[in-house]
């Protein structure tokens, strides 16, 4: 039964069937019966492992091929008719050629398998900001993850209606999981995504990065809204007011952690609370009152497991205690539960490491092994999160007061500073650079430019994307959110993080909110407004963050910043403008101004 009469959907699904030649086609209605049957089948075939159902009810485990554990940026393409529309940050290929090449790979790729047709909504069903997608896949793992990450099932088709053609077509086949023929391809002009030869989340849960960022950023430019790699959180103040903040950090740089932070004792006592609206992606559009409103298009968290524990992120850990899928973590065989680096101090003795080998966990660690893959993940329903916002399902979204950029920077970038204005804030976003992490394949710990934490996700020319940011700022005028930059990762001479981070990041949010409300002054420096050291509340942290440490955290080292600016100019000139990116002159204006400030 096909769940819809929409001829555009039916025609496209027929084409995909003709191409992939599955043995059977199953339309996913989202019912409990259907999901239970799929879980049972996946456990029977060994695709998923059932975990301890008393300690982790509804939880399943999955292991991907060791060659397939992260996003593959070098095999990710934006295929627009004109190469210049994909721009200098994307791999490009002519859509005609790419369709032809991939059609050969998909031809018969689902022989002997079932094709699942998944209707889903990104955003609350019925929200004016929501959009519909359909993903066809030969993986039950994908179906079960999409059930957590999106609003999946027949209701999504109801929202699309019987005639609309406005849905994103996603084709996924794990095929042979052959890394040499792995492709993650977006065709923004056709609302189409083709992904093949992978089964790792970021490459195959097509609603997430492929749709909600790469395709949606392109749609947002054409339709006057923004799709960003941003968490959304609400800070409830003692007077009951809630201020909403978004923050863009590159992959594995702290979005999930900040989104779910637990305020320090002193703040709790004063009545502060933090609510999570989203931990990875924000879709934002000006509302009727002229302010910028954000929804989280997702319905769950695909979070980094290592490092998550009851102290670092209690709310994330709680979110994973039921109906969660764990991927590439370790199994504690003593009670069939999960373990990862940083969960507890001592690894389980009787463990199965992420590749599937039974090991003595203590010896294995002593020899320097990772029991869980550094990019192992949990897929947890948002409704499990103890601090989920009451506005999570609000179709209109939440009004944004401040936006934050950040990254992993061992030096140079201070703990926090504010942009002079929206244009400077856009520049700040364009200047994000961060040490690479295990979330994508390739070397870890290398400093690279990652504008707006969107380098792997901008679905068109980065120069036009920056111009779109400036246009949005103009449209929002004095109602635009204020823009800040943070760095939780500054290190001292011995290589230790100077800022305690996690819950204590509340202290920085506090300053940011006070700045937005005009309640606190700042120091004007060549690079932006910095806090006066006494305006960052360190009550209860005095031993850890001494006045000398705070001074280092808030220092603007002119010589380092001159180098930073020189590198930015090189980046703009060579990597962007020199390779077909049309940089708005306003951004060069900011660069000139900061440079001259530094030389004064
Ligand atoms: P993606 O899901 O890949 O987009 O990642 P993310 O941005 O949500 O990152 P996440 O919150 O999962 O954090 C990734 C890593 O950063 C974890 O190992 C955390 O322990 C670490 N981390 C997060 N916040 C802080 C912080 O404030 N200070 C320090 N030192 N580490 C942090
Ligand atoms: C990221 O890498 O930014 C993630 C995980 O959030 S993935 O879904 O793999 O993109
Ligand atoms: Mn992410």
Segments making up each domain of the chain, as ranges: 7-30+70-223, 228-296+392-557, 301-384
**C-beta of 304 in contact with ligand 1 (< 6 A):** yes
Q: Is the predicted pLDDT of residue 20 greater than 90, yes or no?
A: yes
pTM of the full structure:
0.98
pLDDT digits (tens, 9 = 90+) for 324-346: 999 999 999 999 999 999 999 99
User: Which ligand is the nearest neighbour of the Cα of 304?
Assistant: 1
Task: Return the pLDDT at 350.
Answer: 98
Distance CA 247, CA 281 (A): 10
- For residue 203, the CA-to-ligand 2 centroid distance in Å is 9
Task: Look at residue 498 in the predicted model and tell me its pLDDT.
Answer: 98
* Minimum CA distance residue for ligand 2 atom 5: 202
The closest of 186, 169, 137 to 20, measured between CA atoms, is 137
Quote the CA–CA distance of 416 and 555 in Å, as a whole number. 10
Which CATH architecture group holds 301-384?
A: Beta Complex (2.170)
Distance 406 CA to ligand 3 centre (A): 13
Q: Tell me the percentage of the chain whose pLDDT exceeds 70.
A: 100
Q: How high is the mean pLDDT of the chain?
A: 98
Average pLDDT over residues 156-167: 95
Lowest mean pLDDT: which of 49-53, 156-160, 198-202, 515-519? 156-160
Q: Which of 255, 264, 200 is nearest to 232 (CA)?
A: 255
With CA atoms as reference, report the closest residue to 232 among 421, 120, 126, 391.
391
Residue 1's pLDDT is: 74
pLDDT given for residue 567 in this prediction: 98
Rounded distance from Cα 251 to ligand 1 centre (Å): 8
Give mean pLDDT, residues 508-513.
Answer: 98
Can you give the pLDDT at residue 83? 98
Does 439 sit in the ligand 1 pocket, CB within 6 Å?
A: yes
Q: What is the mean pLDDT of residues 578-586?
A: 98
The closest-lying atom of ligand 2 relative to the alpha carbon of residue 439 is 2
CATH says 7-30+70-223 is which class? Answer: alpha beta
Calculate how far, in angstroms, residue 502's C-alpha sits from the geometric centre of ligand 3: 17
Residue 131, strand partner residues? 122
Name the residue at shortest CA distance from atom 8 of ligand 2.
202
Q: Closest-lying ligand to the alpha carbon of 145?
A: 2
Which residue is closest in CA terms to ligand 1's atom 15? 252
Strand 282-286 and strand 226-228: pairing?
Answer: antiparallel
Sign of CA dihedral 402, 408, 414, 415: positive
Question: Would you state the structure tokens that stand for residue 491, as one six-digit string?
Answer: 């290190």
- According to DSSP, the residues that pair with 50 across neighbouring strands are 60
Annotate 235-288 with DSSP letters as a single string.
EE-TTS-EEEEEEE--TTSSHHHHHT----HHHHHHT-EEEEEESS-EEEEE-T
To test the pocket of ligand 1, the residue of 205, 254, 377 to mutate (highest count of ligand atoms within 8 Å of its CB) is: 254
Whose C-alpha lies nearest to ligand 2, atom 10? 202
Two structure tokens written together for 171? 């084709």
Adjacent-strand bridge partners of 227: 283
Q: What are 360's two structure tokens?
A: 């003595």
Pick the CATH number of 228-296+392-557 from 3.90.228.20, 3.30.70.270, 2.170.190.11, 3.90.180.10: 3.90.228.20
Per DSSP, the residues of 367-383 read TT--SS-TT-EEEEEGG
Ligand 2: which atom is nearest the Cα of residue 209? 10
Nearest-ligand number for the alpha carbon of 497: 1
Q: d(Cα 296, Cα 315) in Å, to the nearest integer?
A: 18
**Nearby residues of 94 by Cβ (< 8 Å), 6 or more positions away:** 79, 81, 83
Decide if 555 is catalytic: no
Give the Å distance between the CA of 371 and the centre of ligand 2.
Answer: 21
Q: What are 351-393's pLDDT values in tens digits?
A: 999 999 999 999 999 999 999 999 999 999 999 999 999 999 9
> Distance, CA 305 to ligand 3 centroid (Å)?
13
Question: What is the 457 CA–ligand 3 centroid distance (Å)?
Answer: 10
Distance, in Å, from the CA atom of 281 to the CA atom of 208, rounded to the nearest integer, reads: 8
425-451 tens-digit pLDDT = 999 999 999 999 999 999 999 999 999
* pLDDT tens digits along 217-229: 999 999 999 999 9
Nearest CA to ligand 1 atom 23: 254
Q: Which residue from 70, 201, 249, 253 has its CB within 8 A of the most atoms of ligand 1, so it is best to mutate?
A: 253
**Structure confidence by residue, pLDDT tens digits, 295-316:** 999 999 999 999 999 999 999 9
Would the CB of 251 count as within 6 Å of ligand 1?
yes
Residue nearest to atom 13 of ligand 1 (CA): 254
Q: Which residues pair with 132 in a beta bridge?
A: 121, 167
Q: What is the pLDDT of residues 525-553, one digit of tens each?
A: 999 999 999 999 999 999 999 999 999 99
Phi, psi of 226 (to 5 degrees): -130, 140
Burial class (CB in 10 A: 0-12, 13-18, 19+), 136: buried
Asked if residue 256 has its Cβ within 6 Å of ligand 1, the reply is: yes
Among 59, 93, 210, 253, which one carries the catalytic annotation? 253
Largest CA distance in the chain: 72
């Amino acid at each position: 039964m096909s769940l819809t009469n929409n001829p555009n959907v039916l025609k496209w699904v027929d084409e995909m069937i003709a191409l992939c030649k599955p043995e059977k086609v199953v339309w996913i209605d989202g019912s409990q019966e259907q999901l239970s049957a799929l879980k049972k089948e996946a456990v029977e075939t060994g695709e998923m492992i059932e975990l301890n159902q008393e300690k982790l009810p509804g939880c399943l485990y999955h292991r991907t091929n060791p060659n397939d554990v992260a996003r593959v940026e070098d095999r990710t393409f934006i295929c627009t008719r004109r190469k210049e529309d994909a721009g200098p940050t994307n791999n490009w290929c002519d859509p005609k050629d790419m369709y032809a090449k991939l059609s050969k790979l998909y031809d018969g790729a689902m022989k002997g398998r079932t094709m699942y047709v998944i209707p889903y909504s990104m955003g609350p069903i019925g929200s004016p900001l929501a959009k519909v997608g359909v993903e066809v896949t030969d993986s039950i793992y994908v179906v079960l993850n999409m059930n957590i990450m999106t609003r999946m099932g027949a209701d999504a088709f109801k929202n699309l209606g019987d005639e609309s053609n406005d849905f994103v077509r996603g084709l996924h086949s794990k095929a042979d999981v052959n890394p040499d023929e792995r492709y993650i391809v977006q065709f923004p002009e056709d609302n189409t995504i083709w992904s093949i030869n992978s089964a790792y989340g970021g490459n195959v849960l097509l609603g997430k990065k492929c749709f909600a960022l790469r395709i949606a950023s392109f749609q947002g430019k054409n339709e006057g809204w923004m799709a960003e790699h941003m968490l959304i959180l609400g800070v409830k103040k003692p007077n009951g007011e809630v201020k909403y903040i978004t923050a863009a950090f590159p992959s594995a740089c702290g979005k999930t952690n900040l989104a779910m932070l637990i305020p320090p004792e002193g703040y709790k006592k004063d009545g502060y609370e933090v609510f999570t609206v989203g931990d990875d992606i924000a879709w934002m559009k000006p509302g009727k009152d002229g302010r910028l409103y954000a929804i989280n298009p997702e319905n769950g968290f695909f979070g980094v497991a290592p490092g998550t524990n009851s102290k670092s992120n209690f709310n994330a850990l709680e979110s994973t205690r039921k109906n969660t899928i764990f991927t590439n973590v370790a199994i504690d065989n003593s009670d069939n539960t999960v373990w990862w680096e940083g969960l507890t101090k001592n690894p389980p003795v009787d463990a199965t490491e992420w590749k599937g080998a039974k090991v003595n966990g203590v010896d294995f660690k002593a020899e320097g092994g990772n029991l869980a893959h550094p990019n192992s993940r949990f897929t947890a329903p948002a409704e499990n999160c103890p601090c989920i916002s009451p506005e999570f399902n609000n179709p209109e979204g939440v009004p944004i007061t401040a936006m934050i950029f950040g990254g992993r920077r061992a030096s140079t970038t201070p703990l926090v500073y504010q942009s002079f204005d929206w244009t400077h804030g856009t520049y700040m976003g364009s200047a994000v650079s961060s040490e690479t992490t295990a979330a994508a394949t390739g070397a870890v710990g290398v400093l690279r430019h990652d504008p707006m934490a969107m380098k792997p996700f901008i679905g068109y020319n980065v120069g036009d994307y920056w111009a779109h940011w400036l246009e949005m700022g103009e449209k929002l005028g004095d109602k635009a959110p204020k823009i800040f930059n943070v760095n939780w990762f500054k290190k001292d001479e011995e290589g230790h993080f100077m800022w305690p981070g996690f819950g204590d990041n509340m202290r920085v949010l506090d300053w940011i909110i006070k700045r937005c409300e005009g309640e606190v002054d700042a120091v004007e420096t060549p690079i932006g407004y910095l806090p006066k050291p006494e305006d960052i509340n360190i009550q209860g942290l005095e031993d850890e963050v001494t006045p000398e440490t705070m001074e280092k955290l808030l220092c603007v080292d002119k010589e380092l910043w001159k180098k930073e600016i020189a590198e930015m100019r090189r980046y703009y000139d060579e990597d962007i403008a020199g390779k077909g990116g049309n940089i708005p002159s306003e951004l060069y204006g900011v660069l000139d101004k900061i440079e001259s400030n530094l030389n004064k």
